Amino acid sequence: MDGTFNSGINTVSDINQTILDYRPLPTWKDLSGNGRDAVALTSSNGARYTTQCELLPRVGVRFDGSCGYKTTGTSPFQAKTATIFAVLQKTGADTATQGHVVSGLLQGGTPVQTLGFKSKTEAFYLRDDLTPGTTDTTYNTNPLLDTVVTHDRIVLSSTATYNGVQDVTELRVNGFSNPSVSLGHSAGDTGSTGYAVIGAANDLASAYNFVGFIQEIIVFDIALSAVQAAAIELYLSRKWHVSAHKMDSDGNGVTDYYDPMQALSGCSNCNPGTQVYYGQCSTCPAATYSNDGVMCKTCPSSSTSFAGATSIAQCSCNPGYYRTSLTSCQACPAGFYCPAVCT
């Protein structure tokens, strides 16, 4: 899958103005070989945030177990609370009724939230709020993340098993919790390893694995306020053309986020005179031009252009200057003048 998103835009500038009070995650290592490591940063206004473990569409990771994110160093991320956003797209040809998204925790092999697909090109994003002391709305016997959990790995896996069958594909945040709180995904799992799940899985009796892309992952180690979450949703909506449509997909009382009508952009560039900006085509402003529909370039010094210029040839010298070459404008010498747009 390819896309039009400009890889040069890799900040959360319109998010970190709102989110000022959370601890940054440590560095996450992209193990896929795509070189998209995420690092903790500090913005100009002092907000601390983490780049989004973002994978460009052209190197989008498939749910095939070939990629993961892993903390580096000796101090893994520890938190009682986490908020995780993921943008995904289903691309596989498996039976539509068998693929569904899992958001939340799996308890005894049963997903907390599921979401059916209507077509293989559907795009969606989901949000998972993992808070201490809350309980699964379906299985109320165990609290979710009521002790400090060490999240030591975000991993894509197609080797998860259910009743001995490797038939579940998922993105999960692994961790270790109190042994008395079993958060395993397999029936009969009574070990101390627990993990929150965001991602895609098939019906557990199906031999088909979900096939798709993770376009973006954002992980926070606090519970976000409604205003903060809305800022993230606005960012994702603008960038990926996926609306924050709230719904309860499986009727279990847990709200998820899904847009059944829109899909991610396919392989296409913006038109000349425009550039890619947050996943959309934006007209180049005056004094710039774009011949490739990717990025607006600045006109030569002492020249300008109309908005939407498609060539450097449309950059005209300012009054009092004349063109000496395609890329140069010079001041008129003594005894000469150029009163308007001069070429």
- 3-class SS string, 68-83: EEEECCCCCEEECCEE
- Are 181 and 128 within one domain? yes
The answer to whether 107 and 183 are in contact (CB under 8 A) is yes
Domain span holding position 296: 274-331
222 plus 286 within the same structural domain: no
135 and 245 in a single domain? The answer is yes
Query: Does the residue 296 lie in any domain?
Result: yes
Same domain, residue pair 249 and 308: no
Other CB atoms closer than 10 Å to residue 302's CB: what's the count? 17
Query: What DSSP designation does 268 have?
Result: -
186: tokens are 């397999």
Report the alpha-carbon distance of residue 334 to residue 144 in Å, rounded: 80
* Two tokens, residue 27: 């560095």
Q: Which residues pair with 38 in a beta bridge?
A: 28
Residue 5 lies in a domain: no
Q: Are residues 164 and 289 in the same domain?
A: no
**pLDDT tens, position by position, for the chain (343 residues)?**
122 222 222 223 333 333 323 333 334 445 444 555 544 444 444 433 333 333 333 222 222 222 233 323 233 333 334 455 655 554 444 333 223 333 333 333 333 333 333 333 344 444 544 443 333 322 222 222 223 333 333 333 323 333 333 333 333 333 322 222 222 332 222 232 333 333 333 222 222 333 444 555 565 555 567 677 667 666 666 666 655 444 444 444 444 444 333 333 433 467 889 876 655 678 888 888 988 777 788 888 888 888 999 988 888 888 888 888 888 888 888 777 666 555 4
Determine contact, residues 87/122, Cβ cutoff 8 Å: no
Could you give the number of structural domains in the chain? Answer: 2
CA max distance for the chain = 93
- For residue 287, what is the domain's CATH number? 2.10.50
Q: Beta strands 193-202 and 212-220: pairing type?
A: unpaired
pLDDT at 117: 34
CA trace torsion 82, 86, 92, 94 (10° rounding): 40
Is there a domain that residue 339 lies in? no
Question: What does DSSP say about strands 193-202 and 165-176: parallel, antiparallel, or unpaired?
Answer: antiparallel
pLDDT for 309: 92
Residues 249 and 280 in one domain: no
- Separation between Cα atoms, residue 75 and residue 73, nearest integer Å: 6
Q: Does residue 156 lie within any of the structural domains?
A: yes
Q: Is residue 263 part of a domain?
A: no
From residue 218, give the alpha-carbon distance in Å to each of 50, 172, 340: 8, 13, 51
Taken in order 254, 55, 15, 147, the sign of the CA dihedral is: positive
Residue 202: HSE in the Cβ half-sphere, 13 Å Cα cutoff = 27
Domain limit, last residue, from 257, 284, 303 = 257
Q: Which of 257, 289, 307 is at the close of a domain?
A: 257
Element (H, E) at 234: helix 226-240
